[in-house]
Amino acid sequence: MGIFGRLATGWRLARDSMHVLRQEPSLAVFPLLSGFFGLLFLAALFGGTSATVGIEQGPVGYAALFVLYFGTTFIASFFNAALVHNAREVFHGRDPTLGEGMRVAWAHRRPLAVWALAAATVGVLLRVIESSDSPVARIAATIFSVAWGILTYFIVPVIVFEDVGPTEMFKRSGETFKDTWGETAGAGFGVGLVVMAFVLVGVLVAVLIAVALGGSTIGLAGAVVVGAAFLLGAYLFGSALGYIARTALYVYATEDEQPEAFRNVDFSRTH
C-alpha cells in the first residue's frame, strides 16, 4: 500500500474512533483523571507547576527532573492503560466500567513503573545532551528523541495485553509500529484535524461572546472561561481518540482481528 493509501486508512481509523467514543464517552474520563492527578503530583513535588520552570542544571536539578519525568509518565501511562483495556472491551461489544479499567491498570503497575523508569532515564539523558553547546549533539538528541517515540508508541498496549519482560516490551512495541507506521501517521493526522477543528470552534465562540458583550469585563471573562472549556475538551477528546485508534491498530496488528467498530477500515490493505 502506498503512503496516501495508508494515510487514508488512518483517517478512516480516526473517524471510526469518534464513533467508539460516542458509544462509550466514559473513555474520555481517563485523560481527565490523568490530567488531574498529574497536576496534583506537580503541586506536591514543586509546590506549584510554575516552579518547574526554575529547575537548574546540576545533580540536584537533574534528580528533580528525573522524579518529574518518572511521576508524570507513570500517571499518564496508568490511566492510558485503563483506557486501552476498556477500549478493547468496547470493540468486543462489552460495556466496561471505570473501575474495571482501573483494576487492570493497577494489576500492571509494576511493568508500567519499569516503563516510566526507562522513560525518565532517557528523558534526563536527552536533557543533558540538549544542554550541550555542540550543535551535533543537539541534532543527535533530536533524532534519538524521534526514534524513541517510535519505538515506544505501542508500549502501553503491549504492557496491558502481553505478558512480556522489560526488554521484550520495547521490541514488541517497535515491531507493531513497523507493521502499522502509515496508518499510525494517518490516524494521528486525522485526530489532529478533529482537535484543531474543536479548538477553532472554541475560539470562534469565545470571540463572539466577547464581541456580543461589547468587550466588557464580563464578556472577556466569559470568553476566557468558554475558551478554556473548549481547550480542556479538545485535550480530553484528542487524547481519548488517539488511544482508541492506537488500540485498534494494535489489536489488528497483533491479533489479526478487525474490530467491528472499525468495519470502515480496510485493514487487509495495510500489509
101-136 pLDDT tens trace = 999 999 999 999 999 999 999 999 998 888 877 888
Q: How many CA atoms lie within 13 A of 157 on its CB side?
A: 29
Model confidence pLDDT, tens digit, residues 247-265: 988 888 887 777 777 776 6
pLDDT in tens, 184-204: 666 677 777 777 877 888 888
Name the pTM for this structure. 0.82
- Rounded-to-integer distance, Cα 230 and Cα 234, Å: 6
Please tell me the predicted confidence (pLDDT) of residue 49: 41
* Contact by Cβ (8 Å): 202, 229: yes
